[in-house]
Amino acid sequence: MTEIELGYGEETITFNFDTDRFSLLAQRGSSQVPLTDVEIGAAFDTTIDSPPLDELISDADSVLIVVSDATRATGSAQIVNLLIRRLIQGGISPSNIAIIFATGIHRPVTDQEKLELLTPFIVQRIRTIVHDAYNPENLIVLGVTERGVEVQVNKALTEFSKTIVVGGIGFHYFAGFTGGRKSICPGLASSATIEGTHMLALDFEKGGRKAGVGTGLLDGNAVHEECERVANLVNPSFVVNSVVDEKKRIVGLWCGHWRTSHRTACQAYLKGHSVEISAKRDLVLVSCGGFPHDINLIQAHKALDMAAYACKEGGAIILVAQCRDGLGRSDFLKWFESATSAALEKRLQDKYEVNGQTAWSLLLKAERYRVFLVSDLPPHEVRQMRMVPVPSVQAALDDIGSTTEGYIMPRGAAYLPRQV
């Protein structure tokens, strides 16, 4: 038997498995070495389609730094500390620097999360701003995209002479990848602009997902392209794209132009985070990888989506996700009043909401597979979402049967199974 630790919030669940029954879908070879402060500082100077950071910023500038909220692991504490130090060394006063959290339509960042995302040293010295996608007083209209989406973003993006975006690269189930332009839209966009871009993921004429939209896809991806159009109206001065390992340590960094550095980082991520499988199997055991990836069910769904790439139709998926913040939205369960995913899709066509699309994607999987959920969520909520609540991985396996062969995905959202 082989032992593996599956992330569950800030802790782990130990699982012993037979290698004749289960195959591990994870990174092969030795672990990457975390980047040092010196190496990160060098990345600010070794840029993609952009002058080095020091040449972009002068002592006459005011700088807004955009960072992700607690639902993302980006290594922001280390990066922002080094950025702030570099800016101050360049003659910029701390009073002319601010940090804004790209929350999108997520809940506000808590005081404790600010300390964790930035360190107490930075929080005590640099002004922080929390985005509110629903408050028109904090928003400004920049224009309209070619597709007719009105671009409303946080007005702080227009109040500083330079904007530096810090984001993490990972897979996204309909935008292709996280990071880059997503820190602007949806990160700092209004709820209406977010809806206008995200609804492009669905094909309301043919039904289902629109062609070109999906995990690891950029070219021809309508959502990605529309988010880029929004970001283009902002035109960030400099972007830092990070990749972190399972311990949230920075192991990769691509800096420079907001569009091309992001695309380069995504290409590298796809190459390093794809796992080949010869065939799908009847069982997939998937962990989100712990906090923050399983902070709530809306975020945990991303690991479920990845597991579906490795599971046979009608098979079983065991999802390990603590969901310490619950569902992620107080109104999320309303979507599961629909009898089927087709009925839910019709509701979205009549009145689209971003989290309704997540609910549709989750319900679609619950119809295609038997989904068992190990979490802290109330069992009745899990059942309402058509999943099976179980107290442990073993309880789910007892229900499934002892002979079913499967895959184990210890960092569910971080690795894309690709059949060859």
Q: What is the pLDDT of residues 374-410, one digit of tens each?
A: 999 999 999 999 999 999 999 999 999 877 899 999 9
- Sorted by where each starts, the structural domains of the chain and their CATH numbers stand as 2-27+275-419 (3.90.226.30), 37-271 (3.40.50.11440)
CB atoms near residue 159 (< 10 Å): 13
What's residue 32's pLDDT?
83
CB atoms near residue 415 (< 10 Å): 23
Mean pLDDT over 284-308 rounds to 96
What's residue 331's pLDDT?
93
* Helices assigned H by DSSP within 48-101: 53-56, 76-89
CA atoms within 13 A on the CB side of 183: 34
Q: Are 33 and 243 in contact (CB under 8 A)?
A: no
Which DSSP helix (H) or strand (E) runs through 117?
helix 111-118
DSSP string, 25-39: -S--SSPPPPPPHHH
Does the predicted TM-score (pTM) go above 0.85?
Answer: yes
For strands 162-168 and 63-68, give the pairing: parallel
Is a pLDDT exceeding 70 seen at residue 238? yes
What's residue 401's pLDDT?
82
The one-letter amino acid code at 276 reads E
What sign does the dihedral 135-139-144-149 (CA atoms) show? negative
CB atoms near residue 223 (< 10 Å): 25
Backbone phi and psi for residue 123, each to the nearest 5 degrees, phi listed first: -60, -35
- Average pLDDT taken over every residue of the chain: 95
What secondary structure letter does DSSP report for 361? H
What secondary structure letter does DSSP report for 92? -
Q: Which of 30-44, 73-87, 225-239 has the lowest mean pLDDT?
A: 30-44
Tokens of 266: 């995504």
CA gap 382, 297 in Å, rounded: 10
Tokens of 379: 């069992």
- Indicate the SS3 state at residue 63: strand
Q: What is the pLDDT of residues 270-290, one digit of tens each?
A: 999 999 999 999 999 999 999
Task: Give the residue among 89, 98, 94, 80 at the shortest CA–CA distance from 58.
Answer: 89
Q: What is the pLDDT of residues 407-420, one digit of tens each?
A: 999 999 999 999 88
Q: What is the pLDDT of residues 345-359, one digit of tens each?
A: 999 999 999 999 999
CA angle 191, 192, 198 (to 5 degrees): 85
What's residue 135's pLDDT?
96
Tokens of 331: 């109104």
Task: Give the residue among 252, 382, 388, 256 at the shortest CA–CA distance from 317.
Answer: 388
Q: What is the pLDDT of residues 138-185, one digit of tens each?
A: 999 999 999 889 999 999 999 999 999 999 999 999 999 999 999 999
CA gap 398, 401 in Å, rounded: 5
Q: What is the pLDDT of residues 24-79, one digit of tens each?
A: 998 765 468 999 999 999 999 999 999 999 999 999 999 999 999 999 999 999 99
For strands 311-320 and 281-287, give the pairing: parallel
Q: How far is CA 57 from CA 63, 77, 125, 127, 164, in A?
A: 9, 21, 20, 19, 10
Q: Long-range pairs for 377-381 at CB < 8 Å and ≥24 separation?
A: 377/297, 377/323, 377/326, 377/327, 381/327, 381/333
Cα end-to-end distance, the chain, whole Å? 28
For strands 150-154 and 311-320, give the pairing: unpaired
Instruction: Place 21 in a pLDDT band, splitting at 50, 70 and 90.
Output: very high
Where would I find the beta strands (DSSP E) of 322-387? Answer: 370-374
What's residue 403's pLDDT?
75
Backbone phi and psi for residue 199, each to the nearest 5 degrees, phi listed first: -70, -15
